[in-house]
Amino acid sequence: MQSFRTELENPLVQKDIIELDKKIHAFREGSLNEEKFRSLRLARGIYGQRQQGVQMIRIKLPFGKVTRRQLLKIADISDEYSTGNLHLTTRQDIQIHFVSLDRTPELWARLEEDDITIREACGNTVRNVTASATAGIDPDEPFDVSPYAYAVFSYFLRKPFGQELGRKFKIAFSSSEKDTAFSYIHDLGFIPRIQIENGKLTRGFKVMIGGGLGAQPFLAHTAFEFLPDDQIIPFTESVIRVFDRYGERSSRHKARLKYLLNKIGLAELLRLAEEERKALYQQRYPIEHTSSSFKPENNNKVYTTFKVTDAPKFQAWLKTNVFEQKQQGYFGVNIRVLLGNIPSDKARKLADIVTHYAADDIRITVNQGFLLKYVTKEALPSLYQELNAIGLADPGFDSTAYITACPGTDTCNLGISSSTGITKALEQVIRDEFPDLIYNRDIKIKISGCMNSCGQHGLAQIGFHGSSFKAGNQVVPALQLLLGGGTLGKGEGRIGDKIIKIPSKRGPALLRTLLIDFEKNGTSDEIFNSYYDRQGKDYFYQLLKPIADSSSLTPTDFIDWDQDEKFKTEIGVGECAGVMIDLVATLVFEAEEKQAQAAETLGTGLYADSIYFSYASFVSAAKALLLAKDVQCNTQIGIINDFDKHFTTNGLFSFKDSFREQVLKINQEEPGEEFAKRYYTELQSFLEEVKNYRNKLKEEQSTLQTKETGTI
């Protein structure tokens, strides 16, 4: 494998990419532990696939914004390094699959030429910051949240306290009280608000905290009804620091912020966050209000008038995919993308269309589509014709007919049964039998390949996740049905109830039964969830029970969608949360690595970063010694307390007060130069003691072995 080098304007990015290249070399040569390498590559957007030997690359696009040039670059990258397909995700990222690990540094460097990153797109990090795609043009918004979403994305990128969290940390900004970015299922969710203070208009946010989906969904709590906008970054940093120190690290299934909040309560979590305030580099963080939206350069362009040949489809498209912006005379145009998959050649054609008809500000939507902005009324017929020519003018955006689905068993290790095949089958049922549902925005259908909710099935009025069940000595691919989920607005939502599990191949029959029943028995003005509440969970269980009857299985029920052979479960180890490294030698090396980072950032004047690297080094070294004593470590605060218990009280290590007092100076003193230098000096002394202690243990073990074997 040849070494890779790159020349980029940003030295931090260049260093990052070269470091990845070195770590790949070390991993290939066997000098870097596989689990440690996994943690490192995940934090750089490189995710293992179901297929061995290839990787999925997740491209991190803050609030889903991508320019025409960036879209062209990603299309080129997909052709050169992947399969020529771009996958749009529910978190407004773009993923490409089947990439060789050895080529990832080169791929990353190519992306960075157009200011595109993969850093912290996966792993136990602060993930992509999402936002309502309509931010900046939403008629209901009090102000544009795009600058805030971008500021949060930029501020937390590469921050030392966000690199190795107990689990991933997700942040979302909704553009209005309608909460179209689903604040209620995020670790932190922000909804814009304004209020008048002393006769002056003040911007702020309602703040939701501790939400999450997955196998155990939690609805977020309200942290603040109104938090001034210059406090959102300090508050977010405080919460992440608390999560890093107090969050679970042993059991990854209990390691999200929602579990910490559930354990200690909202009041205590907010108290701990306030306790961190002194450690912050900035107590206020004003954010420039300049909108990320801008008008196209072709405002005065004259478009050819012509009669659209398929007028009914055009009218349906206008009604379902087009809306008037808050900017008078301009329209937003939504684009349906089946399964979020768009071939690179089609992506290039779309980029060319944007040049002629819209602002250079494409947004990826949370339901895996695109939004074009600043289209004039005169341009709509021509734009429709151009989109229709490349298969991107299907009406029914954000309707029942537009189903959200993760890739599932196509590429994901955790996928249980197909989510993509069943999605195509269900969309066909709607298209052929219920065509008017392209106008229905009340009923959403979402599908995940497993219970982990990448397809956000728990948020849907009708949701499915992949599953399986035994029938004799065979396994049947299955779907777990959930009903009654949805967004209520203002930070509130509903999680769907589990109703029944059916063979996957019977999904179309189930959907048909549900829709016919609602048409027949619902009142004219009744929304689906009201009908669900009125009828009750058992009503739907009894209605669908015949479809779930396993005594009537046919041979096709044992074959999953888009497959030819009988189904068998092939669930691998998921990488969404990374893996904890519990080897003593690895942890000591990690402590030394963080010490070096503390020294480097201290030398460059990044005092707050240096302090946190020193803190992390203290914790890694302490954990190494605790594990050597077979003391299990669940949280950083537990490590700090246990070190005093097992090493300080018995005199093995000595401190002025205690290890806890020394380490937790991090949130008791301001992060200036004097404290950063003193804290680093204290770390050096501690690591020297750790080294001496380990050498002493090795000598004692060597002496004992010599006596036992009788050798001299």
pLDDT in tens, 319-371: 999 999 999 999 999 999 999 999 999 999 999 999 999 999 999 999 999 99
The answer, yes or no, to whether residue 708 has pLDDT greater than 60, is no
The answer, yes or no, to whether residue 707 has pLDDT greater than 70, is no
* Percent of all residues in the chain with a pLDDT value above 90, rounded to a whole number: 77
Exposure of 345 in the CB half-sphere (CA atoms within 13 A): 2
Model pLDDT, residue 1? 45
Model pLDDT, residue 711? 47
The answer, yes or no, to whether residue 293 has pLDDT greater than 90, is no
Give the rounded distance of the alpha carbon of 226 from its chain centre: 25
- Name every residue whose Cβ is closer than 8 Å to that of residue 525 and which is 6 or more positions away in sequence: none
Task: Report the Cα–Cα distance between both ends of the chain, in Å, rounded.
Answer: 45
pLDDT in tens, 451-507: 988 999 999 999 999 999 999 889 999 999 999 999 999 999 999 999 999 999 999
* Percent of all residues in the chain with a pLDDT value above 70, rounded to a whole number: 94
CATH of 311-389, one of 3.40.50.720, 3.20.20.80, 3.40.50.2300, 3.30.70.3340: 3.30.70.3340
Model pLDDT, residue 316? 97
Model pLDDT, residue 712? 43
The Cα–Cα gap between 359 and 178 comes to: 25
Q: How confident is the model at residue 5 (pLDDT cuts 50, 70, 90)?
A: low
Q: Is-contact 449 406, C-beta < 8 A?
A: yes
The answer, yes or no, to whether residue 615 has pLDDT greater than 60, is yes
Model pLDDT, residue 578? 40
- Name every residue whose Cβ is closer than 8 Å to that of residue 501 and which is 6 or more positions away in sequence: 467, 469, 478, 479, 480, 481, 548
The Cα–Cα gap between 61 and 387 comes to: 23
Q: Is-contact 206 491, C-beta < 8 A?
A: yes
**DSSP-derived 3-state class of residue 685:** helix
Model pLDDT, residue 704? 62
Helix (H) / strand (E) element for 650: namely: none
pLDDT in tens, 61-77: 999 999 999 999 999 99
The Cα–Cα gap between 185 and 487 comes to: 10
**DSSP-derived 3-state class of residue 220:** coil
Choose among 607, 574, 590: nearest CA to 40: 590
Secondary structure, 3-state, 353-417: HHHHHCCCCEEECCCCCEEEEEEEHHHHHHHHHHHHHCCCCCCCCCCCCCCEECCHHHCCCCCCC
* Two tokens, residue 108: 């990353």
Torsion sign (Cα): 193, 197, 202, 206: negative
Interval 267-285 mean pLDDT = 95
The class that CATH gives domain 584-709 is: mainly alpha
Choose among 368, 375, 337, 369: nearest CA to 354: 375
Q: How confident is the model at residue 249 (pLDDT cuts 50, 70, 90)?
A: confident
Interval 163-172 mean pLDDT = 94
Q: How confident is the model at residue 581 (pLDDT cuts 50, 70, 90)?
A: very low
Q: Are strands 486-489 and 362-364 parallel, antiparallel or unpaired?
A: unpaired
Query: Domain-by-domain residue ranges, the chain?
Result: 124-292, 311-389, 404-558, 584-709
> Which CATH superfamily includes the segment(s) 404-558?
Sulfite Reductase Hemoprotein, domain 1 (3.30.413.10)
Helix (H) / strand (E) element for 47: namely: strand 46-48
Model pLDDT, residue 632? 85
Classify the phi-psi angles of 98: left when phi > 0, otherwise alpha if psi is within -120 to 50, otherwise beta.
Answer: left
For residue 209, list its beta bridge partners.
188, 221
Q: Global pTM?
A: 0.92
- Name every residue whose Cβ is closer than 8 Å to that of residue 225 and which is 6 or more positions away in sequence: 193, 206
Domain 124-292 matches domain 404-558 at the CATH topology level: yes
pLDDT in tens, 622-671: 999 998 888 888 899 999 999 999 999 999 999 989 999 999 999 999 99
Q: Is-contact 354 362, C-beta < 8 A?
A: yes
pLDDT in tens, 589-608: 889 989 999 999 999 999 99
The Cα–Cα gap between 587 and 110 comes to: 33
The answer, yes or no, to whether residue 576 has pLDDT greater than 60, is no
Residue 305: count of CB within 10 angstroms of its CB: 8
Look up the CATH number of domain 124-292.
3.30.413.10
Rounding to the nearest 10 degrees, give the CA dihedral for residues 254, 273, 667, 638: -20
pLDDT in tens, 514-545: 999 999 999 989 999 999 999 999 999 999 99
Rounding to the nearest 10 degrees, give the CA dihedral for residues 62, 64, 66, 70: 70
pLDDT, the chain, mean: 91
Q: Is-contact 336 369, C-beta < 8 A?
A: yes
**DSSP-derived 3-state class of residue 536:** coil
**DSSP-derived 3-state class of residue 215:** coil
Phi, psi torsion values for 469, nearest 5 degrees? -150, 160
pLDDT in tens, 672-683: 999 999 999 999
